[in-house]
Amino acid sequence: MKILRSRISFLLLLSIFDRRASSAFEKPYLCLQRRKQKMQLSKIDTEGRSASNVPTWCPEQQIYIGGVVPENAEVKSLIEKNDGFLRLFGYGSLCWNPGTGALAKPGVIGSLGRARGYKRCWAQRSTDHRGNPKFPGIVCTLLEDKEVYETRKMATNEIEEINQPTMTEGIIYLIPPDLVDECLAELDFREKGGYARDVIDVVEDKSGETHKALLYRGTPENPAFWPRALLDLPLAAAIMSVSEGPSGKNDFYLNSLDKFLTDTHTIYAENDDTTSLASMARSFQENNQLFFSLRVWLKSAQSTFVG
């Protein structure tokens, strides 16, 4: 009975905090995102593409339709300057799961490297990989230091500006010319859950050289961005401890990335929330019956009894 009372108290506290904190953290972002979604939907033509020929966001599935993500003119210029070669920075699942497509083919070289001035943030909803539209999972994105500062400032004014650029560890892939188009097509579809192409500075661990590289990231303006997850790590960990999608369980994604960071023994991991989130997620799984997990079970049981 003692354990049961403890769990019930935890569920009530989590439920109350979720309702109160959600309003304070999300109102500015939700209003902005709803306006943007309405503007996008007003442009969609009968073929499912927008009239201005830009990627179309589907609010129901919470993905870019057809895997057409926002373009970046810098990417084409970057490829031309490098004689057809392309560097790609992976910071999430690409660190431990490049897939079986273009990135896994001979000729692609991967090496450890860092993104300068960007922080890995677990603040991107996932409905096509680690969750679903009814219960989105949470995956990571890279935010510029100033974006992290502005997001946190919305919740509290008691935050110091970042003086030194954050260094985030990942993998730099060097893709040969004959695989670039194939790779881009695969990645556009893989990252259709709110991500867009960007070009950033990366530093190779071994040589110390700085290069320009393609980056897929979800900015604070993208429709799947969820600032609450960045500001409330226990809630993010709780969701990841139970969420599951077409690509598998959310905690597997989290733990796999945590293992990558641990195995590389990076000195930059102190600026990363991944290990803390993995530890919290395991604690929830071992010690608590979460409210939303219990709610799903009760709904399932109710439909069984009624049927």
* Residues acting as catalytic residues: 191
Q: Exposure of 132 by Cβ count < 10 A (0-12 exposed, 13-18 middle, 19+ buried)? A: middle
Radius of gyration of the chain (CA): 20
**Can you list the pairs that 100-105 forms with residues at least 24 positions away whose Cβ atoms lie under 8 Å?**
101/182, 101/183, 101/186, 102/175, 102/179, 102/182, 102/183, 102/186, 103/173, 103/175, 103/183, 103/186, 105/179
